[in-house]
Amino acid sequence: MEGPLFWIGFFVFVLIMLALDLFVFHKKNEIVKIKNALWWSLFWILLAVAFNIVVFFTLGQQKAVEFFTGYLIEESLSIDNLFVFIMIFGFFKIDPKYQHSVLFWGIIGAIVFRAIFIFAGVALIAKFAWIMYVFGAFLLFTGLKMLLDSKESSEFNPNENIVIKLFRKFFPVTDDMSVPQFFVKKDGKVYATTFFVALLFIEASDLIFAVDSIPAVLSVSKDVFIVYTSNIFAILGLRSLYFALSGIMPFFHYLKYALAGILTFIGAKMCINEFSNNSGNDFYISNMASLSVIVIFLAVSIVASLILKKEKEEVKQEEELKEDD
């Protein structure tokens, strides 16, 4: 069990990085360019790798494998969350130069809520071992549902969300977006702005995704420190990844199927491993096997997306040549 110094050191590190991000590197409201976003994404990934090396030398190889597998699971599942962010900002018409600020405060909320979810999940597993079957079955269901879901992004409407409906019912909201603030005062009355409504929906969507991702990471480790730190490192890089994503969308055409496969595999792993533990069976799916499966799913989805992109470009060129003739 990691002592208080590990936790204190980690939280101090996170606070320093967040402060630098908001007040030094992105202190002005400006559009984040794709090239800069890619460099920042690399920076956050390397930072996670550096932390993983520290885990290896201080907590051992097993914890390091658990951290890296958990980080990769959270990072890959978070990519799907980014598509929702894109639709949220598009729906609410949030100017690109203000999106980084909204996402920053969204990350702050995610850090707090993830801690609650993770501690609750570990406590449930410790008290009720059978909850692993529930988590596993839920991930299996989610993976299959994602695979079969045909809902289009055009059907996306945040105003239909129960959280947004309740908030609008009890708190006045203004559509005035002339000032990039979450709350404004008019005629002595405080109004929430569209910026805050977008932030609220981002938080709500992150909670929904956490219901999938946290049980998935708990299949890798029951160590609260490892589960939480792997989650937070993945979350810290989300903003940069979001801005980079707009320029590399073709790489993720088949991501939905990869994520569905990952969730289904992890759900099956949780059920199989728990059954083996209870029955004394020697069959066990290791974290290294999980890591390999996750990498394969993601790699295949990217390669397939590249092939599709190339085929579409060839078809387009052929059509243009026919038009010229």
> Domain boundaries in the chain?
4-150+206-324
The pLDDT tens digits for 254-285 are 777 887 887 788 778 778 877 777 777 777 77
Does residue 262 contact residue 297 with C-beta atoms inside 8 Å?
Answer: yes
Best mean pLDDT range from 37-41, 223-227, 240-244: 223-227
The pLDDT tens digits for 63-108 are 898 898 888 888 777 766 676 777 777 777 777 777 777 877 887 8
**Among 149-153, 194-198, 211-215, 269-273, where is mean pLDDT lowest?**
149-153
- Residue 25: the pLDDT is 59
Considering only residues 213 and 249, tell me which one the structure prediction assigns the higher pLDDT: 213
Answer whether residue 154 shows pLDDT above 50: no
CA 54 to CA 63: how far, in whole Å? 10
CA 322 to CA 325: how far, in whole Å? 5
What number of helices (H) and strands (E) belong to the chain? 11, 2
CA 57 to CA 316: how far, in whole Å? 53
Considering only residues 81 and 114, tell me which one the structure prediction assigns the higher pLDDT: 114
Q: How confident is the model at residue 53 (pLDDT cuts 50, 70, 90)?
A: very high
CA 35 to CA 244: how far, in whole Å? 7
Q: Select from 101, 108, 115 the least CA-distant residue to 30.
A: 101
- Residue 151: the pLDDT is 55
Q: Select from 72, 65, 32 the least CA-distant residue to 231.
A: 72
- Residue 287: the pLDDT is 67
Average pLDDT for 234-257: 71
Does residue 132 contact residue 126 with C-beta atoms inside 8 Å?
Answer: no
Answer whether residue 179 shows pLDDT above 80: no
Answer whether residue 8 shows pLDDT above 50: yes
- Residue 159: the pLDDT is 61
Query: What percent of the chain lies above the pLDDT cut of 70?
Result: 81
Answer whether residue 152 shows pLDDT above 60: no
CA 135 to CA 220: how far, in whole Å? 13
